[in-house]
Amino acid sequence: MQTITTSEPRIELIKAASRFYQQGWMVGTAGNLSTRLRDGSFWITASGCSKGELTFSDFVRIYPDGRIESSGNLKPSAETSIHQCIYNLFPEAQACYHVHSVEANLASGLAEGGKLPLPSLEMLKGLGIWEENPCCLMSVFHNYLQVNRIADEIKQRFSNNPPKIPALLIRNHGVTVWAKSTVQARNYIEILEYIFRYMVAARQMQ
Ligand SMILES: [Zn+2]
């Protein structure tokens, strides 16, 4: 039996989007996923495509010089500037995933002063936090209408003060993670969504 192997990076993005869509984290056209290639360009989901049934032609490739490649007249995601900002800030990042979940939005309301304290759960180890009872503050950004403004603020805050975990939250909007691989980015999203669900449930028990 022939084994089909491929290095087409969009396959992983399509699979992840379908998974997140089924979880209710990429409802309709919400959210955007990208992965960086060796030449420094990255594939990102195009604007306005349903995330449950993406195909290869639903992506746009952005080159470091700003050139855009797409199979039609597709526009890159409206939030491309955030992905660009993350790739510039973190050279090791090869994937950047952003989803919109109900729980992330509810959890973002618990932030104070641009920081959201995460509960000291075992799951934090999956985000690289190996401490007993860690104090982990997640960075939360204002959801400016102009996405470039959000990207500028991310750059400003993280240039001087890199975050403890490879993730950020935009208030009443959603979570963004970055990772060394698409698999790791998918895991980070799943871990954070678990943590947000926990926070919302814990709140309801009070
Ligand atoms: Zn978004």
**Residue 31 placed within a domain:** yes
pLDDT digits (tens, 9 = 90+) for 149-176: 999 999 999 998 999 999 999 999 999 9
pLDDT of residue 2: 42
Position 190 pLDDT exceeds 90: yes
pLDDT of residue 6: 55
- Give bridge partners of residue 33 from the DSSP assignment: 97
Position 74 pLDDT exceeds 50: yes
pLDDT of residue 4: 44
From ligand 1's centre to the CA of 101, what distance in Å?
10
**Residue 3 placed within a domain:** no
pLDDT of residue 24: 97
From ligand 1's centre to the CA of 26, what distance in Å?
9
From ligand 1's centre to the CA of 25, what distance in Å?
11
Mean pLDDT of the chain: 94
The pLDDT confidence band at residue 5, using thresholds 50, 70 and 90, is: very low
Between 205 and 2, whose confidence is greater? Answer: 205
* Cα distance between the two ends of the chain: 57
pLDDT of residue 71: 80
> Which is it for strands 136-141 and 167-170: parallel, antiparallel or unpaired?
parallel
Question: How many C-beta atoms surround the C-beta of residue 57 within 10 A?
Answer: 13
pLDDT of residue 72: 80
Question: Per the structure block, which two tokens stand in for 52?
Answer: 């449950």
From ligand 1's centre to the CA of 131, what distance in Å?
31
Between 74 and 185, whose confidence is greater? Answer: 185
Domain that holds residue 76: 10-205
**Residue 160 placed within a domain:** yes
From ligand 1's centre to the CA of 62, what distance in Å?
18
pLDDT of residue 170: 98
**Residue 144 placed within a domain:** yes
Position 3 pLDDT exceeds 70: no
Place of tokens 């960086």: 36
Number of domains in the chain: 1
- The pLDDT of 118-129, averaged and rounded, is 94
| CATH number of the domain enclosing 176 | 3.40.225.10
